[in-house]
Every structure is written in structure tokens, then in C-alpha cells.
Structure 1
């Protein structure tokens, strides 16, 4: 599943049969050797602990944060073989009652967090404890973040020269030509080769199952008998793998914006569902902009806003803004707004200003940032390796072309961009795994909490329902008529109340619960003059 840091309801329509990968390129899920290897690594980590000290300058974290490392096997089937080091950050529990400064609260252990990806780092997570929505939790938990294997300084993975990572300006055709498709296929093959050449034999060990095993070693290194964990987006998937592999090691788990863990969905079909869902989210954004036509002047209906957007696309295709923002960069900026409502006012203001003759806000928001190229390249490399290694993908272009051509007829906004992001998996050189069947029976796992926004496009709502069905004793809390990706700690006190009750006291609703939507974003003034309905082609 794509995370916005990496980029940039037609599921039944597209239940196609995947072209099976060659038998010798698919590995069955590892068994006894990995179980033993994880136990060996966790026992070592418990003895070694984590020597927390000053954070390295490279982490760019404030002085109050503490950092350390934990060793894990590259290959859990060979726990005495090559080791890699994962970077870890921590802010100790304040033990200060936010409502009574004279009262000290008992510490409850470590709360480990993963923000998703694959390819995102959680090293900055402990900083969030200063925000009002998190202070109660930060009082009783050590907030622990970490960079998963391959990310940041944790045995970093790379697939190409970061200096060539950003290609701007770029096109983003919603109905690409055959020649454009051939060009992107060639790029996907080259990218897959680059991953293999740079990572070598290590490439196959970047998987969700190993992320789950690493989490158990981290638990042991922190001195925790049982894990308290919050995962967002992709973090819910390997968190669910952890719950299946190590149910007796779980204390409490929060799954925020859950990935559909059905093995048949990992990962090809999940990405089809994501592309379909983003069309609805794009409609939500346009309707919001239309509601504030007096501010943005982009049209007072969704259709008129779309015409304004397409006008900008055409103009950028002819003459990129600042020489570096083309249709691809415009699409990427508005795709990120599909993840977070908070982005809506700035994106609408930038589009409005551009069409009125001022490209600066759009260049600022959508233009490539060379200083971030190394981090972005690393994130995409990890994303690609994990998703390609985790499961079988269609290996014939005709399957991708057929499925996504059909989908793009009804959901053109993200479909082909998602294809190009994932297409290296069609030509992946490393062995594939068969996804684990996420499932726990009654009494195997302590009660867990699942959070989901009803209109989330990055992880469509059906995934949370499926995870709830598979994890016995879980409770699903739904944020109604909302679509922001990641709902914990946001502006919805109902959602936050359920999170606090669970993590602080172990209390969950008796059954599925619902919260009303979060407040809509407020428009940012950008001038009320209407964009002309038509203008000379020379402009």
C-alpha cells in the first residue's frame, strides 16, 4: 500500500485470476527454522538490551530524544549468520498527569509505533508526546519509534542513484498510449535490476514477515514481556502478522487505518482497490473546493472544479511551471491531498493562484525537493522490495494492462500512477513468499482495537472489516463520513477517547463503535476572482 511520503468500489469488477509466477520463484512461508531463529535473536536481545544515548546528528532529532540500536538476523533461518542493526528512538514516560501537575502516574511500559509504508521511518514518533492529544499516553508509556530494516540507517536499501531519482517535470497520462506504456515497462525492468544489483542476496530478506520478527526482537530488547504496539497503514499489516505469529506476546495493539490482510489481496488486488477508492476521495476534495468557490474561484460544482484542474494539467504539459512542475507533479500533489484533509486548503489555493497567473504556490507545494532525494529513493526501494517479496504478482504485462485499462475507465485519477509504482514487481528477480493467513481463534489473542475512516482511500474501509473478522476479540471503531488516512491522535475526540480508554485502561466498546466525522478543513483565502472559463492558448 502506498504511503504519501513515497509519492507521489470496483473490487468486484476486477477479481481477475493472477498470472502465476513460475513455481521455482515462489517460496512457501518459512517455518521451524525461522521460529527458532526468532527465539534465539529475541533471547540475545533481552540480554543485550538497548544502550540509549545521544541521537546521531543524521537523525535530526532534538537533544531530549534518546537513540540506540538493536541487532537482528538478516535471515532468521540463520540466526548466527549476518546481523543488521535497526535504529531505535525513545522518549521516557513523563509520568505527569496532564490534568494534575502534582500527580505522578505509574509507567505502563513501552508503546512501539510504526507509521506504515513500507519504507517509512518511525524515528520521530516520540516527539508527538508533547501534543495535547497524546499527553495522557506519553505520561504512562515510553514512546518508542524505530526505522524498520532497510529504512534510514537500518541496513539501508537502495535501487538507484538518488541523484537521478526525481524526474521533473513529468507527464501523468490517465489513458496512456502504447508507446508510453512501453517506456514505463522498460523503466520498471531497469528498476528491478537495480534493486538486485545493489542489494545482492540480501534483497529477498526485506519482507513483512521479517518486519514482524524484528518487532519481536525489539520487544525483547526493550525488556518488555508483552508488546504494546500501534501501527498505521502498512504498519497494521505486519502488526497483524505479529499477532498471528506471536499472539501470546501481545499486551495491547492498535491497528490504525487497516490494510486488508486477506492473502488473496496481498498486494496486487489491494492496489487495485486503492486506485478505485481514490476516485471517490478525489470527488470528495473537488466537492469541498466547489463548496468554497467564493474563496478559490475554481467552480461551484465538482465537474467545474475538474475542468479547472484539467485546464491546469494541459497548461503544465505545454509549459511546466518553473521548468519543474508538470502534470505528474500536479497529480502527485493532489494525490497526497487524498490522504489528508489538512492539505485541501493549500492545494486548492495553489491551483487557484496558478490559474490566475501566480505559479509560486504550486511550485512550492508540487516541485521536487532535491534535498529529500536520498530519503525518497530509500523509501521507494524498501516499499518495492517488501511488496514484491511478500507475494505473487502477475508476471505478464497483458494482465496489468487489462485490469488497469478497465479500472481507469471509471477511476482514472490514480490508476496508472499506481501501476507504474508497482510494476517492478512483475519483473522481480528475488524469490516470492506466500502471504501468511492472518487469523487468530477465540482466546488466542488479547482484545485489540481497529480504527478506520469510512472513506479512507489509501486503505479502503473493507480492509478494516476483514481484519476485524480475522482477529478474534478485536473491536472496530469507525470514523463515519471521513477519509483522512490515520485517525488516532487527530481532531476527533470520540476516536481519541476510544484509543485512550484502551491503551490506558484496557477498555474497549462491547461491539463495533462509530464516531462522527472530524471537522472539515477551513478554506485558505486566495482571492475571490473567478478563473476565466476560457483563455487564449498562448498564455
Structure 2
């Protein structure tokens, strides 16, 4: 007989967390399935533009401000919150302006304020006709209020992700329930009943209204692709052009999506290990990917018994290499960290972990908002036995991040606001014009099947496939085949010709290339320096002309810090 998580928690002597957030009633989140043509009666005041704080925005000549929106769109005259927005104005004559381009980096929980800079990295002047609008979604970054619950949650010496015995299960059930309780008492807890995807989509439409525009253009990465799907469903007449890169599968929101990720990430780690072996002349870790993989897992087991430097245990070891499953950009730094660790130096691994997992007040902002959205969008299984059975099954064939991903999302079983929707919001793109979809074949975070599903639901869409690639949301990386088509679409609205039938892409392009490391003496450079921010790394040959490393790092942070 399966027990619910609360029953399991009680059996372990834990407290079930079912509190309403401070200042809110105990009601469940209301069901809000998207409806075509849905609109809010609320119209925000215009943005009062001023100076930005971020140096990169100041340097780019951006303007910053706030959009005031309802906390609860069902009560447009009620309490208000503020969304931080940024703008870099169009570079064409006013007569050739094509409107606003909102940008979202993903997450949920990723800050998008500095992504107003993205337009200048679209080739051939493709970004010039637009006002590029960055924004921090509700609860994120500079938006008011922001949500953060426990800045020390990702500290060292957490229980092993792999729940192989009841004691570990109990520790994780207690830890995740404690985080949920901390969120119910956080300063931004009044946001919790109002953090669903549809709330964020309504915020996007409020930004449109505040800027006096009839339509939006949108560039969404990762979870941002789902925002685009739902916006187009709810507001088809307000949807002009969309580029969706790293495409979320609307069928799998969100429990199944994480299980599918686990399988895709595991395959990508095998590709990474094979690449390290291919470059054995540089790394000297073995000429077989399987042999290097075996060494990696042997180290995992060793660290479970004795953490390196007293803090790098199996969880930190796993998390430090998570980005290798997301992107090829940081593979050199990852490989150099492996080299150092196998020689007994865990400094580079520590650097990789610390870069992705901050500590201190507010450092969990992205994670808190991630849970705020994912946990309330659609109901999650509440039975720990189901979680354990499903993840045990998946971990047998895909052990790399399965249990890590499960524990990352486990607070959803004790979250203060319970989702009343049993199914994901409906996505229907039949009423919008051409949009552009981008996905690499072996994308780990948003597996390729999601792009195929969205292509089917948006009959005027075109899908660009980075054939065989493992990089997530890798557009504007200097791949002419992909980036030039983005530019053409943004300038003219023309997408690549859609081919007949389903289950395939419309254009096949080369993927973001795997790096080509330098000779062995290149390892004299600090591994932590070369891996920092998981940028393009060194040794790629001719200079790329895609977005700069700091913007790419921001996209990566939005994805990897929120799984």
C-alpha cells in the first residue's frame, strides 16, 4: 500500500508542511487553464525610465524601470508588485522600428534584466529594428518583492542524493519539508499563490501594455520557451514573432519532464567522457570513455565515504559536473577539474560547485522561484513511494543526475501552495503566425521530443535542428546556419520552409561544436580559470561571433541553477 509523503513523514517523525504563506489564506491555488484571447482588465501605468545599476547595462546605454502589476490578476485593484525591466532602444530609424522584443533566459527563476543587450548579437542587423526588453519575472532579482527562503540550503555535507537506505530518505524528507516551511515564512511569501506560469504570462502582457504596444515579439530560452507557448495560447492576437530555443515539451510539465531530463543528461555525460578520451593527448585520463566514466563513478563512491577537503562529497561531485550535460562550452574546464581531482587537488571542482551554488542571504532566489512556479503550475505526485519507484527505475539506466534531480524537486511534495490543476495548461498555437523553434538533437535539459511536440501544436512554426548536438539553448553562438535564419526571421518574418509531416525538423544545421583543446602544456593554466562561468573556454580556433561570455553564462546560470 502506498503512503502519501505526509504519512511517510509522520512515520519518520517529521512534520508535514501544509501551511499557507504568511498573510495568505489556506486556499489552494486556483485553476487557471489558458484561454485563447484571455485578457486582464488591468492596465499598468507607463514605465518611468531611469538609469540602470548593472554595469553591463550602463555600458550598453540601457534604461531601467519598473512595471507595476497586480499580485493577483483576479483582483486587479488589490495589492501590487513591481517587475524590474530594462530597455535598449532600436537602432533603426523610427519608421523602421518593429516593436518590442521581450527576452526570458529560462528557469523558472532566471534573471533576464541584462538580456536587453541580446539584440546586438543577432547577426546581419537582425536585432536592430526592436526595442529589446529584459525583465526579472515576479519574485526574481530586482523585482519587488523578491523571494528567497534559505541561503544556506545548498551548503556542503548534505545527505547523499542516492536514497539507498531509510535514514537517507528521512533526512531528505526532513530537509525539503524544512525548505518549504522556510518559504512559507519568507518575506516574499505573499507571492507564493501567484507564481504560476500563467501569472508570469499575464505579467508579460502587462509589460506590453505599459510600453504602449499592440503586440510583443519574444525570444525565450529553455523555460522561456514555455512562457512563449502559453503566451501565444492566451494572447494569439498580441503575438507577433517568437524565437523559442531549448523547447519545453508541454505534455510533460513538470514531473515527467524531470524524469526525461535524467535519461538525456546521462547520455550527454557519456558523450562528454568520450570527448575526454578522444583528447587523451591533453588530459591523460584514458583512451576509453567507458574507462573514464568508471573512474568518475569510483570517485563518487569514494567521496561518499570520505569527502575531499572535508566538504566535496558525492552531491558536490555530481553538481560540479552538471553543466557538462547541459553544454559543450565548459568542457575544457570540466576536464581539467577531473584531471586535478584524480591527482588529489579538488580546488577546481570546488570552484565549479561554488560558481553554480552560491551561499548566504538571497543566494537561493532562483531556486525558490523555480519551486514557486513548478510546484504550483500542476499537481505533483504526493506519494514518496511513487517518487522512489520512478526514480529507482530511471536511475538503473541513467544514474548520473536522477536522484539529484529528484531531491531538487522534492519540496514540491510539501510546498505551501498546492496546485489545483491536475494537468498542465493547454498549449495551442493554431491561431498564431510563423514562429521559429531551435533545438539540438541531444539537448539534455529540454529533450528534442519537446521541440517536435511544439512544432506539431504550432502549425506555422519551423524547427531548426542542431544535428547531433548536446548543447541546451545554444543559439546566437556563432553558428551561421542557425543564427542567420534567426536574423532573417526577425527582419522579415520569413521562416524556413516547413516540410510535410511530423516527427522531424525543417532545417538541419551543424550544432555548437565540441571544443578542441590545446596541447598538454595548456593545462598549466588554472583549471578553475578556464572553467569559470562555463564560458566558451580556450582552444576553439577562430574567434566566434556569438553573444559574449557573460550573457551566455547568465543563460547557463538560469538553466543549471534551477535544474
- Asked if TM exceeds 0.5, the reply is yes
Aligned to 2:80: 83
Partner of 1:421: 408
Deviations 1:414-466, CA, capped at 9 Å, x for gaps: 1000110111111223131423210133xx21111111110001000111111
Residues 122/18 of structure 1: CA separation in 2 closer, same or farther (3 Å cut): farther
CA offsets 1:106-162 (integer angstroms, 9 cap, x no match) = 32222110000000011111233454x457233222221100001012134435232
Residue 40 of structure 2 is matched in structure 1 by 39
- Alignment of structure 1 residues 136-151 onto 2, 5 Å: 136-151=125-140
Q: Which runs of 5+ in 1 are unaligned?
A: 1-16, 97-103, 530-539
In the other structure, the counterpart of 2:110 is 120
Pairwise CA distance, 1:516: 2.3
1:496 counterpart residue number: 483
Q: 1:106 to 1:213 in 2, by over 3 A?
A: same
Aligned counterpart in structure 1 of residue 229 of structure 2, from 216, 219, 240: 240
Taking structure 1 as the reference length, the TM-score comes to 0.85
Residue number among 27, 31, 34 corresponding to 1:28 in the alignment: 31
Among candidates 321, 327, 332, match of residue 340 of structure 1: 327
Q: Does 1:193 align with 2:181?
A: yes
Aligned 8 A contact 1:18 1:394 in 2: no
Cross-structure match for 1:313: 300
1:181 to partner: Cα distance: 1.5
- Check if 1:282 corresponds to 2:269: yes
Q: Distance in 2 between matches of 1:308 and 1:145?
A: 43
Give 2:346's match in structure 1, choosing from 350, 354, 359: 359
Q: Partners in 1 of 2:166 and 2:521 — Cα distance? A: 42
Summarize the Cα distance change of 1:446–1:35 in structure 2 as closer, same or farther, 3 Å threshold.
closer
User: Could you say if the C-alpha distance between residues 373 and 473 of structure 1 is closer, same or farther in structure 2, counting changes exceeding 3 Å?
Assistant: farther
Distance 2:227 2:325 in 1: 24
SS of the equivalent of 1:139 reads coil
Query: Residue 62 in 1 paired to residue 58 in 2?
Result: yes
Residue 178 of structure 1 is matched in structure 2 by 166
The alpha-carbon deviation at position 342 of structure 1 amounts to: 0.8
Instruction: Determine whether 1:520 maps to 2:521.
Output: no
- Does residue 53 of structure 1 match 2:50? yes
Which residues in structure 2 correspond to 1:411-450 (within 5 Å)?
411-434=398-421, 435-441=424-430, 444-450=431-437
In the TM superposition, residue 20 of structure 1 has moved relative to its aligned partner by 12
In the aligned structure 2, how far is the partner of 1:248 from the partner of 1:370? Answer: 40
1:221 alignment partner in structure 2: 210
User: Which residue matches 1:3?
Assistant: none
Superposition CA RMSD, Å:
2.8
Q: Distance in 2 between matches of 1:143 and 1:77?
A: 29
1:330 is paired with a residue whose SS is: helix
Aligned to 1:401: 388
Residues 167/525 of structure 1: CA separation in 2 closer, same or farther (3 Å cut): farther
Cα distance, 1:515 vs. partner?
Answer: 1.1
Conserved? CA contact 1:244–1:440, under 8 Å: yes
| Mapped partners of 1:424, 1:298: distance in 2 | 38
Matched positions, count: 492
With over 3 angstroms needed to count, the CA separation of the structure-2 counterparts of 1:173 and 1:369, relative to structure 1, is closer
376 and 485 in structure 1: CA distance in 2 versus 1, 3 angstrom threshold: farther
Classify 1:349/1:304 alpha carbon distance in 2 versus 1 (closer, same or farther; 3 Å): same
- Residues in 1 aligned to 2:356 and 2:393: alpha-carbon distance in whole angstroms: 34
Q: How far off is 1:239 after superposition? A: 1.2
Aligned 8 A contact 1:244 1:439 in 2? yes
Q: Distance in 2 between matches of 1:301 and 1:31?
A: 50
Aligned to 1:99: none
Question: Aligned equivalents of 2:295 and 2:446: distance in 1?
Answer: 28
- The structural deviation recorded for 1:314 is 4.1
Structure 1: how far apart are the matches of 2:376 and 2:141?
Answer: 20
CA distance in 2, matches of 1:359, 1:392: 40
Partner of 2:99: 109
TM-score, normalised by the number of residues in structure 2: 0.81
| 1:231 alignment counterpart | 220
Match of 1:256 in 2: 245
Displacement of 1:519 in angstroms is 2.2
What's the offset of the Cα at 1:384? 0.4
Q: Give me the whole-angstrom Cα distance separating, in 1, the residues matched to 2:114 and 2:475.
A: 16
Per the TM alignment, residue 396 of structure 1 is displaced from its structure 2 partner at its CA by 1.0
Tell me the distance in 2 between the aligned counterparts of 1:20 and 1:469.
37
Give the structure 2 partner of residue 268 of structure 1: 255
- Alignment partners' CA distance in 1, 2:241 and 2:519: 44
SS at match of 1:436: coil
- State whether residues 265 and 326 of structure 2, in contact with CA within 8 Å, keep that contact through their aligned partners in structure 1: no
In structure 2, distance between residues paired with 1:480 and 1:369: 28
* Mean CA deviation greater in 415-424 or 518-527: 518-527
Distance change in 2, residues 1:528/1:320 (3 Å): farther
Q: How does 1:292-303 map to 2 (within 5 A)?
A: 292-303=279-290
Partner of 1:93: 90
1:330 corresponds to? 317
Output the CA distance in 1 between the equivalents of 2:125 and 2:324: 29
- Closer, same or farther in 2 for the Cα pair 1:169/1:298, shift >3 Å? farther
Aligned 8 A contact 1:113 1:229 in 2: yes
Sort the Cα spacing of 1:371 and 1:187 in 2 relative to 1 into closer, same or farther, 3 A: closer
Q: How far apart are the structure 1 equivalents of 2:286 and 2:33?
A: 55
Separation in 2 of the partners of 1:352 and 1:486? 28
Say whether the 8 Å CA contact 2:147–2:189 is kept in structure 1.
no
Q: Secondary structure at the match of 2:96?
A: coil
Describe the shift of the 1:491–1:130 C-alpha distance in structure 2 as closer, same or farther (beyond 3 A). Answer: same
